[in-house]
Homo-oligomer: A and B are copies of this chain.
Amino acid sequence: MSDLLKLDQQLCFRIYSISKTMNRLYAPLLKKLQLTYPQYLVMLALWEHKEAMTVSQLGQTLDLDSGTLSPLLKRMENQSLLTRSRSLADERSVKIELTAHGKNIKKDAKHIPAKLFNLTGLSHQEMKALRSGLDLLMANIKTTEG
């Protein structure tokens, strides 16, 4: 068989596997906050942005489309993490805003990045190297994607 078709040769299979494994590492930590990983990403985006974001802004930030975000955001609204409201200025867009509760649980998430970093077992240098390798890859495939 052609070597290239072998699973353990493939960069993409590694990324796919690690992505799933990472998710499993996050799950028990996020369970305490009643969040899934994609929901956690929405919270990160909103905490960082500090103001309301539209659905499409969230979609651009997280690279997710409305088919994913609409039901996800509704579930988060049901948990009183955020509110959804039509913008007055442009009624096509929906403004996503953190509730007091949503802002408040940020303090309970503070410890998560360091905990994950420890689970990776990487040195800061190894982490930086891996990150820039992935950034290079992402930059390359983003240009060929469209």
Interface segment, one of A71-79, A80-88, A93-101, A120-128: A120-128
The answer for the CA separation of A65 and B113 in the assembled complex, in Å, is: 28
Tell which of B6, B14, B106 touches A138, judged by Cβ atoms closer than 8 Å.
B14
For residue A114, CB closer than 8 A to chain B, the reply is yes
The CA-CA distance from A136 to B142 in the complex, in Å, is: 25
**B residues less than 8 Å from A138 (CB atoms):** 14, 17-18, 21
Copies in the complex: 2
Cβ of A90 under 8 Å from chain B: no
Chain B nearest CB, measured from A103 CB (Å): 11
- Given the interface pairs A12-B26, A22-B12, the reply to whether A137 lies near B120 with Cβ below 8 Å is yes
Residues of B within 8 A of A41 (CB): 7, 13, 16
CB proximity of A46 to chain B, nearest CB, Å = 11
One of B13, B14, B119, B142 near A144 (C-beta < 8 A): B119
Residues in chain B near residue A127, CB distance under 8 A: 11
Other A-B contacts than A6-B44, A10-B44, A121-B144, 6 sampled, CB-CB below 8 A, are A4-B117, A15-B18, A16-B19, A21-B141, A126-B136, A130-B137
Could you write out 7 A-B pairs with CB less than 8 Å apart? Answer: A1-B48, A10-B44, A14-B134, A16-B41, A20-B63, A21-B138, A25-B141
